[in-house]
Structure 1
Amino acid sequence: MNEPRHEVKQAIEKIEVPEGKLDQAILKGIGKAKDQQKRPSRKIYPFFIAATAAVFLTAGSAFVSPAMARMLSSVPVFDSIFEFAGDLGLVIASERGLSQGIGQTVTDQGISLTIEDVYYDGTRLSLSYLQEGIDEKGRIDQLGELQLFVDGKEINFGDSRTGKQLGDTQYAGVINIHSVESLPDSFELKIGARHISDVSGSWNFTIPVKKAKEAVKTISSGETVTYEDQIITVKDVKIGPAGTKLSLSISAPDASSFMMVDDHLIQFNLLDEQGNALTLLDAYGTGDDLKDGRHIIEMEFRYEPLSDDVKALTVSPYLMPVNTGAPVKIEQELLPDHLPLTVDQGEMGSIIVHSIRHGDDRMVLTFESDSEFPFDGYFQYNTLWLEDEAGNNLTSSKKALPERIRPNIYEQEFKKADGPLTLVTFEMHELKMLKEYEVSIPLR
């Protein structure tokens, strides 16, 4: 969306952004988020450092509104916007029948907005919506900033959004809401929207919200590590059917140095006992409290749902370089008869292309990350794509991100093309793992 708080997430979701420009976008977005707050009593710092892909699956749903039914007539294999535009956790929640069907529609200025479903389990609060209508210029405008009230009290929150345009007049989206205040098990949620891009109007909703039936398991830690001038406390991890939430408390000498050490940004992987990184969906921070002369921020990182067989998790910090300048682009001809193909990315190791399969309307590339760094399920912080002979990017609009199929092995879909193909990527600066500062969290 076009709100300042989404700039970091938007920048990273454009997978063609070079590494150096991406670093600058992260810092720029963080800075703007700090400066532009509705309610100054307590700050929210969005760190939307993950690219979230729409997941395309088929599953059932107990409720479909008329607006949703019209949308599904053009996309008949989906029964829920959560399944169409949400992350894996929301797909699972919808498949299990844990989301609440709402189906409330409000129309103003010729634009209809429908709240379709809500999901709440204590680790996340997510809404799906359908927008119909165009402005005077024939555009589908983007939903602006919201006002939220819980049991009549306005709350301070941040949000992250995903979605997809359907046809010429419809847009389906998901909003993940991150509340500063703790929310009760059940409450009345009032939603107010005053702008859809440049169109002013009034789209107001009142919906009941109840915590999902499946319980969320909380594992407390409390372990603290200190790296340079950053003091990091692992508070707990919450495990639910729609996601895994890691809560950290981080203190720094001043507010401008949160998670920054020299020219590096501290980030966190969450690893299973096999060393596989859980896919990071989004992250945000709240606070900037002052205690004993140090500034404190409460960080929450939301990852993919955890499989039942995982017995332990490890919080693994690492350093991401920023302000590294324009990266070196690598282009290499991809010859199907000369595979495997190894592409050296410098400090971060290599990409090894094992195969490319051609279907009726797509190509599927299978590649391996030959690196000590544990990239997550979407190969985030790294990128590759294919170009045709004319230099057109062949990245699929349906499945734009790689998906991990085995440890370090990924598949990525591309548009089908005839003729020569070129694989494009960049040299990578080191993402340095801080193994001596890892924190283990037994789950059993």
Structure 2
Amino acid sequence: MKKTTIAVLSAAVLLGGLAPLAVRADATAVSANQTAAVPIATQDTKTFNLNPAIQKQYGGTTFTLKSLSASPETTEFVLARHVPDGIAKEVDEQLMKMSYLVTDDNGWIYEYQKANEKGQEQPDGSFVPYYTENVEPLQGKPKELTIRPYVGGWYDDTSTMFSDKANVTAPLTGQYPLTLDQGKIGSMSVTGVDFGKDKTILKLAITGETASVQKTGTWLVQNGKQLDVTRTELVSVEDGVYQYELEFPAVDRTAPLEVLTKRMMPVTFLKELEMKVQLPQ
């Protein structure tokens, strides 16, 4: 089977401000099914800024992809979101909880870096929210990027601050794969643990398009102490199975070690808002 080395994205809630690359002249909006993009500046296939002006509608709200830019350090997209008065409460709640998955035509999923949003004043005095998100740099030479808005993927417990009732734990005894049930969103498997002098690598295998969401709530636990992840990398994908490496601080190999994850609610992708952009070649 062909293996593909990939980078990953975890999703961002719709909050924050506007980055400098987002300030570009508007282009005429294309229809919802088009993927045209106007290059602003292109030095090579990994450094460019596009003004796609793709528009999509959802629940009376208009989303416009204002820019998509790439550099050796980051990939950035900017969305303008025009929300009319009187939209349905359900739609308004979804807008506030919306996150984004960024993929390309090679199946790579790009890791979230940061996001922000702020209002930009219009000629009529109104303010339109501009949402800016940065993900990892482009991998290889993709021909197309897809921005996939979604809601869901929350912990399956709101009764406590840290969603303790959603905890799923299992001892790491050296017998792999070890599968953990994450509830309605699916499951993950621990495929191994590498112990180093200054770090511990937890290896995971997760099947399906929500893999980048499922791995976000995962920790090692030793002597009752929860260890936070210091690095996450999606290293390969094969037949829809995503292989992750999560790095943690070094642990005492003689002490009992557990893996902790969370039960999660399912993810709903909002296909009406999906945007595809052709990239410079």
SS of 2:265's partner is coil
What letter matches 1:300 in structure 2?
T
Give the alignment's TM-score, normalised by structure 2.
Answer: 0.71
TM-score normalised to the size of structure 1?
0.47
The structure with more helix, counted as a fraction of residues: 1
1:180/1:355 Cα in 2 relative to 1: closer, same or farther (>3 Å)? closer
Tell me which residue corresponds to 1:385: 219
Task: Report SS of the residue matched to 1:262.
Answer: helix
Report the counterpart of residue 182 of structure 2 in structure 1. Answer: 345
- After TM superposition, list the pairs within 5 Å mapping 1:165-204 onto structure 2: 178-179=19-20
The structural deviation recorded for 1:230 is 2.4
Amino acid at match of 1:333: P
Aligned to 2:81: 250
Shift of 1:276: 2.5
Structure-to-structure mapping, 1:429-444, within 5 angstroms: 429-443=265-279, 444=281
Q: Secondary structure at the match of 2:226?
A: coil
Q: Distance in 2 between matches of 1:352 and 1:290?
A: 50
Instruction: Tell me, yes or no, if the aligned pair for 2:21 and 2:69 is still in contact at 8 Å.
Output: no
- Are 1:235 and 2:66 counterparts? yes
In structure 2, list runs of 5 or more residues that go unmatched. Answer: 1-11, 25-42
Gaps of 5+ in 1: 1-22, 31-44, 47-157, 159-177, 184-213
Q: Which has the larger radius of gyration?
A: 1
Partner of 1:130: none
1:423 is matched with: 259
What is the alpha-carbon distance in structure 1 between the residues aligned to residue 120 and residue 86 of structure 2? 7
State how far apart, in whole Å, the 2-side matches of 1:295 and 1:268 are.
Answer: 23
Question: How many equivalent pairs are there?
Answer: 237
Q: CA deviation at 1:321?
A: 6.5
> Is 1:318 the counterpart of 2:153 in the alignment?
no
In the TM superposition, what is the alpha-carbon distance from 1:317 to its structure 2 partner?
1.0
Question: Quick check: 2:153–2:185 contact (8 Å CA) kept in 1?
Answer: no
For 2:21 and 2:106, locate their aligned partners in 1 and report how far apart those are by CA, in whole Å.
Answer: 33
Q: Shift in Å at residue 355 of structure 1?
A: 0.8
Structure 2 counterpart of 1:359: 196
Equivalent residue for 1:275? 107
Residues 273 and 313 in structure 1, CA contact (< 8 A), matched pair in contact too: yes
8 A contact 2:103–2:147 mirrored in 1? yes
Aligned residue in 2 for 1:65: none
Shift of 1:372: 2.9
CA contact (8 A) 2:56 2:272 kept: no
Question: Which residue identity is paired with 2:147?
Answer: V
Partners in 2 of 1:305 and 1:286 — Cα distance?
A: 24
Give the equivalent residue in structure 2 for 1:330.
168
1:256–1:285 Cα change, 3 Å: farther
Residues 181 and 224 from structure 1, CA distance in 2 versus in 1: closer, same or farther, beyond 3 angstroms?
closer
Pick 1 or 2: higher relative contact order, CA cutoff 8 A, min separation 6. 2
1:314 to partner: Cα distance: 0.7
Partner amino acid, structure 1, of 2:104:
D
Q: Percent of aligned pairs with the same residue?
A: 24
Match of 2:50? 219
Query: Aligned with 2:183: secondary structure?
Result: coil
Q: Which position in structure 2 is the counterpart of 1:7? A: none
**Are 1:305 and 2:137 an aligned pair?**
yes
Distance in 2 between the 1:319 and 1:221 partners? 24
Q: 1:295: how far off?
A: 5.2
RMSD over aligned CA atoms reads: 3.6
Residue 404 of structure 1 pairs with residue 234 of structure 2:
yes
Partners of 2:84 and 2:92 in 1: CA distance:
11
Question: Matches of 2:113 and 2:89 in 1, distance apart?
Answer: 21
1:353 is displaced (CA, Å) by 0.5
- Render the CA deviation track for 1:108-148: whole Å, top value 9, x for unaligned: xxxxxxxxxxxxxxxxxxxxxxxxxxxxxxxxxxxxxxxxx
Between the aligned partners of 2:132 and 2:178, the Cα distance in structure 1 is: 39
